């Protein structure tokens, strides 16, 4: 069971919310506006002390801000949410007092969104059920650290977003800087996919939802597997994965129509090292033996706008590689000069 806690939500800063920031519910009714959870960011979360109530929290966040609090002083139009004794209650900081807001939580309920009061959460790739013990907002998205309901702290925790999508696992020390960096990497968009014919959404629809993986279909996966620069995984519809260790395993998974994947961090490094061109060939050449560093072994379309965009990206990656080479040559020359002097 999750411990009692509370959260503070404040309006996002944009043109739409500017019209009713710091306004009471009477004004909202006048302009036909409703209190919508989508207009808010969570700016604070903490355990709820038995002695705390709406008035004491209002005083605390006006006179005695906690050191980790990054919002403005608690004001009209802010929302306080209590998670107490298994019940969630939202209150609008109104012009006079506080107004209960059941509709603020309704969106979360309808969308099956995780909160600190949630329990019996199921997580892909992990057995049993889980409940939140901590939460943190990272780059505008809320993530929850989950603990196993049966084994507690005896097993590693996992981190999911509000929809239960897995972003980090094997967590022992909470939201450390290293874990936050791992989450940011998993959440980061991928500019160039290893296989443009399959997306992350396709991977989730297939039944696998860990965001630390990048999906491929068999044809593109075969090129990467033969190249041997990174581990290739077989993804399974039950949300698990397994390492492709030999050709027999690869062919069996291919025949079964399964999806493949590479680790997202490995793929990002692969792009940074300027290896994208060979990968692009793998997904388009008719014969693997024709991979030669140029995508010229198939009939080219007459329209070249998209090709130019890809060349531009490849050019940027190539520039990084050339800069690295120049830097290494310079270092070698400097070391050589030092040896000559000595």
pLDDT tens across 183-211, in order? 998 888 877 888 889 988 889 888 888 88
Lowest mean pLDDT among 1-5, 39-43, 122-126, 287-291: 287-291
Confidence bin at 326 (pLDDT 50/70/90): low
Percentage of the residues of the chain whose pLDDT score is greater than 70? 77
Structure confidence at residue 119 (pLDDT) = 82
Q: Is the pLDDT of residue 94 over 90?
A: yes
Sign of CA dihedral 46, 52, 53, 54: negative
Confidence bin at 277 (pLDDT 50/70/90): very low
Q: Which two tokens stand for residue 97?
A: 């007092």
Mean pLDDT value of segment 120-133:
85
CB 7 within 8 A of CB 44: yes
Q: Is the pLDDT of residue 169 over 60?
A: yes
CB 71 within 8 A of CB 57: no
Q: Is the pLDDT of residue 302 over 60?
A: no
Sheet of strand 233-235, all strands in order from the earlier edge strand to the far edge: 213-216, 260-263, 233-235, 241-243
Q: Is the pLDDT of residue 334 over 80?
A: no
Across all residues in the chain, what is the average pLDDT? 79
Structure confidence at residue 92 (pLDDT) = 95
Q: Is the pLDDT of residue 93 over 80?
A: yes
Q: Is the pLDDT of residue 112 over 70?
A: no
Structure confidence at residue 147 (pLDDT) = 93
Confidence bin at 107 (pLDDT 50/70/90): low
Nearest 5 degrees, angle CA 104-CA 106-CA 108?
95
Structure confidence at residue 317 (pLDDT) = 46
Mean pLDDT value of segment 46-69:
90
Strand 98-100 to 87-93 pairing? antiparallel
Mean pLDDT value of segment 85-109:
83
Per-residue pLDDT tens over the stretch 226-276 = 887 789 999 988 888 899 989 999 999 999 899 999 998 888 888 777 554
Confidence bin at 3 (pLDDT 50/70/90): confident
Nearest 5 degrees, angle CA 284-CA 288-CA 290?
85
Nearest 5 degrees, angle CA 62-CA 67-CA 69?
60
CB 43 within 8 A of CB 8: yes
| Secondary structure of the chain as H, E, C letters | CCCCEEEEEEECCCHHHHCCCCCCHHHHHHHCCCCCHHHEEEEEEEECCCCCCHHHHHHHHHHCCCCCCCCCCCCCCCEEEEEECCEEEEEEECCCCEEECHHHHHHHHHCCCCCCCCCCEEECCEEEEEEEEEEEEECCEEEEEEEECCCECCCCEEEEECCCCEEEEEECCCCCHHHHHHHHHHHCCCCCCCCCCCCHHHHHHHCCCCCCEEEECHHHHHHHHHHCCCCCEEECCCCCEEECCCHHHHHHHHHCCCCEEEEHHHHHHHHHCCCHHHHHHHCCCCCHHHCCCCCCCCCCCCCCHHHHHHHHHHHHHHHHHHHHHHHHHHHHHHHHHHHHHC
Structure confidence at residue 319 (pLDDT) = 55
CB 105 within 8 A of CB 111: no
Per-residue pLDDT tens over the stretch 159-168 = 999 888 889 9
Pick the more confident residue, 148 or 315: 148
Structure confidence at residue 261 (pLDDT) = 93
Per-residue pLDDT tens over the stretch 211-229 = 889 999 999 898 888 887 7
Per-residue pLDDT tens over the stretch 283-297 = 444 443 433 333 334
* Domain chopping of the chain, boundaries: 5-110, 121-187, 191-328
Lowest mean pLDDT among 128-137, 160-169, 279-288: 279-288
Mean pLDDT value of segment 13-34:
90
């Amino acid at each position: 069971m999750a411990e009692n806690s509370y959260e503070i939500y404040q309006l996002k800063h944009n043109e739409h919310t500017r019209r009713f920031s710091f306004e009471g519910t009477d004004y909202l009714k006048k302009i036909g506006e409703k209190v919508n959870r989508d207009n808010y960011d969570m700016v604070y979360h903490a355990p709820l002390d038995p002695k705390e109530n709406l008035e004491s929290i209002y005083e605390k966040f006006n006179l005695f801000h906690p050191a980790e609090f990054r919002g403005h002083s608690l004001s009209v139009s802010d929302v306080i949410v209590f998670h107490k004794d298994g019940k969630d209650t939202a209150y609008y900081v109104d012009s006079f007092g506080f107004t209960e807001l059941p509709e603020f939580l309704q969106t979360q309920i309808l969308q099956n969104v995780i909160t600190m009061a949630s329990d019996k959460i199921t997580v892909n790739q992990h057995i049993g059920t889980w409940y939140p013990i901590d939460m943190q907002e990272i780059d505008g998205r809320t993530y929850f650290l989950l603990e196993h309901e049966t084994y507690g702290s005896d097993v590693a925790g996992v981190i999911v977003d509000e929809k239960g999508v897995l972003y980090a696992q094997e967590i022992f020390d909470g939201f450390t800087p290293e874990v936050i960096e791992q989450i940011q990497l998993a959440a980061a968009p991928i500019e160039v996919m290893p296989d443009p014919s399959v997306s992350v959404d396709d991977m989730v629809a297939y039944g696998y939802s860990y965001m630390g993986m990048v999906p491929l279909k068999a044809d593109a996966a075969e090129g990467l597997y033969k190249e041997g620069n990174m581990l290739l995984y077989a993804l399974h519809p039950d949300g698990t994965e397994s390492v492709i260790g030999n050709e027999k395993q690869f062919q069996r998974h291919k025949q079964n129509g399964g999806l493949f994947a590479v680790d997202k961090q490995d793929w990002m490094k692969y792009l940074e090292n300027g290896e994208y061109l060979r990968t692009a060939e793998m997904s388009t050449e008719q014969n693997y033996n024709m991979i030669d560093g140029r995508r010229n072994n198939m009939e080219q379309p007459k329209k070249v706008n998209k090709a130019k965009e890809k060349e531009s990206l490849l050019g940027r990656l190539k520039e990084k590689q050339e800069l690295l080479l120049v830097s290494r040559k310079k270092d070698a020359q400097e070391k050589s000069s030092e040896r000559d002097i000595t």
